[in-house]
Each structure stands twice: as structure tokens, then as C-alpha cells.
Structure 1
């Protein structure tokens, strides 16, 4: 994972777990990078333009460039939003400064 700056990854997507094991997939038309967590420890797969993984509690954050292309979240039964109230909440913010340096 490369250490990029706000200039190259100016946007932020935050996935907030709902307390129920859930899966997420996010795709952007630019680059994406996991922020402040070890992808192996968090069971997260990050490629150049996509990230996928699982979340139960806590928060997963990714910085990205370009536009959000796709967000898909499902609960532990594979039921997607909005049919399931147990899927994670997803927040997408464009042009957010990274106040913590690279994390």
C-alpha cells in the first residue's frame, strides 16, 4: 500500500458496522487505499480501484481519488440495503483533508 497525500486521494468513504457481521464492496473510478488499518488483520482486499471485506462493529475508512462507482453492502444472510436494517452505514465525502497525516 503506497503512502499517498490528500492531493492524490482527496475523498473519503467510511463504512460503519451495525453490530451484525456484514460484507461490503466499494469501487471507484480512481485509486483507493485503506486508512489506518492492516488489510490482512481486517480481512480486507484492496486493489487499485476496489475494496471488499467484512465488518461487524467499528469503522473502516478508505481514501480515494475520482468518483465512487459502486457501493454494495449485505448483511450476514446476503440481504442488501435497503431490505436489511442490519447492513453497515456508508458515508462518502469528497474533498476531505486528511488531518491525521497518512492515517
Structure 2
């Protein structure tokens, strides 16, 4: 499959597919003319990448997770600890944002009352 066909099949830009490849998330084979050629499973791989990105995972983590992602998109136990660590990090950031929001709301209330 050529890069344009993969972009169309996954509703992803060619530029983004090249980025995934640069990050080691997606593999291609080069034809003698230098054109990229992707395996038949590339659309599924791109969908998995997009799903992991949607979950807030950075590409460096996704690169480590991809070998443990099953065809149905679930992650095997071999990387459960990585997912749990990232989830805890998100919980910490949500808590910090909640505290910041409360402080800001207090400042807004005080400004309106003055």
C-alpha cells in the first residue's frame, strides 16, 4: 500500500504518517524509486497508534507499547505497569489542575466582590 492510500484509508495526513515512521511507530519498505510501501496491516497499526495517542500517551511510550498491543487494540499484560504509571501521572495532573482551578475561581470571586 502506498502512503497516499494509507492516508486515505486511515483519514490521516501523509505528513503525520511520515512522523509516525520517523518516531519508529510505523514501518515501511522502500521501493527502488524511494517510494514508501506499507504492509497490509498498516491501517490497523495506524488506528492503534491513534487510539494510544487519544489516551494521552506520548510517542516514546507508544513505541514501547506497540509490540504488546493485540489486534483488538487491547494491551497485553507485558505493559500493564507502563499504562498504570501513566494513569497515575494523569491523576496527579488532574488533581493539580483541580487545585489551580479552585484557586483561580477564588481570585475571580474576590475580584467580583471588590
State the TM-score, normalizing by the size of structure 1. Answer: 0.24
Query: Highest CA radius of gyration, 1 or 2?
Result: 2
The structure with the largest strand share of the pair is 1
Structure with higher helix content: 2
**Higher RCO, 1 vs 2 (CA within 8 Å, ≥6 residues apart):** 1
